[in-house]
A and B are shown apart, each in its own frame.
Chain A
Amino acid sequence: MKKITVISGKGGTGKTTVISNMAALAENLVLADCDVDAPNMHLLLKPEITGERIFKSGKLAVRDESKCTECYLCLEFCRFGAISANFEINPIKCDGCGVCAAFCPAGAIVLEEQETGYIYISESEFGPMIHARLKAGADNSGKLVSEVRKEADKVAKEKGMELILIDGSPGIGCPVIASLNGVDAALIVTEPTRSGLSDLKRVLEVTRHFGIPAMVVTNKYDLNEGIVAEIEEYCWQMDIPVIGRIPFDPVVNQSLRDGELLIRYREDSKPAQAIKTIWQKFKETMVL
């Protein structure tokens, strides 16, 4: 079984568009939407939710006012500035480290586990799909990513699937690192803009840091072919295969606005054809 994460560094380059359309071309796959901050794949694939469970993570300190002797120890020990001068605990600033609870001489503080999200086990037209929803402002998105992936692994094993495609988050921090942990390769969707290139370089440093093979797709390539050349030159130097280019075409946006898969919406369109070619190249590269 192969696991591949689709990431981009920069947001909005087309990760979800690429992965959803690839899913429609694939056989025997499990999809995992690990962009838990802003999950969108379900909007395109419209899966039927067959199972749901609560995700518990991230503890919060809770104070029992009647026991508190206002000794200031918690205020002194808290490194997150979560305790105010009148001993109220700010749930947004609290990191759930447990120091205040462990050292409160009056035993007035306890750590409580929070329900911070939901994990959904669904069935899409193209195969099982695992996705999640994190409560607004919640901590620990990396842990939720790991939980979604565990669920995807389980389903893939049960059903004997050959491929898990993981939709990652923008950025290079904790949820991205969690989505890359132990995968066979990363497919990076970039765009020929100064920002796209700057972010691509950072994300490729991350995949190299963790020793994960990467391959690159340039979306909206005809927006600036000079930068496409720079991207491809940079990838060539880094020994990273570029497996395709997708043109900038309003039809992509139209299909998204109508909530439909591009390869169904306009199968003959140039970007749809490009994604088909990329899928072939992807299969060859990954020996699927």
Chain B
Amino acid sequence: MKITVLSGKGGTGKTTVATNLALSLENVQLLDADVEEPDSYIFLKPEFGEEYEPVKRTVPVIDEDKCTACRKCVDFCEYNALAMMLDKVLVFPEICHSCGGCMRICPEKAITEKEREIGKIRWDESGKEVEFWQGELNIGEESSVPVIEHLKKHINDEKTVIIDAQPGTTCPTVEAAIDSDYCLLVTEPTPFGLNDLKMAVEMIKEIGKPCGVIINRSEEGYNHIIEDYCKEEGIPVLMKIPFKRRIAELYSVGIPFVEELSGWKERFQELYTRIKEAIEK
């Protein structure tokens, strides 16, 4: 079973939910797919080895001897990753999507491809209860999606898989959610949280996944904007995490609160049971 933890707005508590949930369950694997800013490692304290798996993408290489400056490749590229400077083709590797079109379209066979690293996959080698994998986008690179795709190759279907996604509602978030059985949305009871939750729900509808909501920084009796919206949309509110300084302090030093505050492991286990029931339905 695969559960993706996501949010429209950043900083609502995805990593808090993903790590605390993982630590409350057995036979679990956690994938940190927030590859631009991976933070789950702070809470799980894995031992990464020296080795990592490079995530590579192919980019075109122009053989200047063969190139006749016909511009066909430049005109073909939908991403503007190729440009013509005088009679030379320039390649902008960070913008290239590796579709291979320029290589195919070149009538002179002047284009080949080479690989370049855009990210890294690391994993925990300490053999902890939670099997942990992390994707990481290299600095200055634009495309997170290939790193997430590569990370997902390590999904272990024998385990409960929790995927910590990037905030937002565009391609990297979709990529983290698209193969999951369930989307767990984390939000906060502010107009910002509500606005971005609506956008995330719209995205989940687009990809057709069941979902449920966790309200973080919840204050009893203050407002019900999230609950009201969820009721209207028929989305279950599965958990509320209170707005407490103690929880914020534990977060600040990288301690998962299930390890310090009693009763929360059980609540996360109940949450898991409800998700399982929803998927089976």
Contacts and interface: CB of A to CB of B under 8 A. Distances in A.
B55 to A, nearest CB: 13
A282 to B, nearest CB: 22
B93 interface: no
Contacts of B11: 10-13, 170
Given A40-B196, A79-B98, A99-B101, A172 B202 contact: no
Interface in B8-64: 8-12, 15, 36-37, 39, 42
A192 interface: yes
A96 B59 CA distance: 17
B199 interface: yes
A97 B10 contact: no
A173 B104 contact: no
B190 A38 contact: no
A285 interface: no
Interface in B192-224: 192, 195-196, 199-200, 202-203, 205-207, 217, 222-223
A103 B104 contact: yes
A257 interface: yes
Interface stretch (A62-70, A121-129, A152-160, A204-212): A204-212
Contacts of A10: 10-11, 37, 39
Contacts of A59: 78
Interface residues on B, range: 35 or more
A277 to B, nearest CB: 23
A170 B140 contact: no
B15 to A, nearest CB: 7
Interface residues on A, range: 35 or more
B105 interface: yes
A88 to B, nearest CB: 15
A116 to B, nearest CB: 9
A138 interface: yes
A64 B139 CA distance: 41
A98 interface: yes
Contact of A174 (B100, B101, B142): B142
B9 to A, nearest CB: 5
Contacts of A206: 139-140
Contacts of A103: 104
A151 interface: no
Interface stretch (B150-158, B234-242, B246-254, B258-266): B246-254
A141 interface: yes
Contacts of B100: 77, 79, 99
Given A92-B206, A103-B104, A37 B167 contact: yes
Given A137-B170, A259-B191, A248 B9 contact: no
A9 B191 contact: no
Contact of A134 (B170, B195, B200): B170
B84 interface: no
Nearest to B8: A38
21 contacts: A9-B37, A11-B37, A40-B192, A95-B99, A97-B101, A99-B100, A99-B101, A102-B105, A138-B170, A171-B10, A173-B137, A193-B253, A194-B252, A199-B39, A202-B36, A202-B37, A223-B248, A250-B243, A256-B191, A257-B189, A257-B190
Contacts of B252: 191-194, 196, 223-224, 227
B229 interface: no
Contacts of A173: 36, 137, 141-144, 172
Nearest to B7: A11
The CB with the most chain B CB atoms within 10 A, among A11, A202, A227, is that of A11
A128 B36 CA distance: 31
A80 B205 CA distance: 22
B225 to A, nearest CB: 8
A149 B14 CA distance: 30
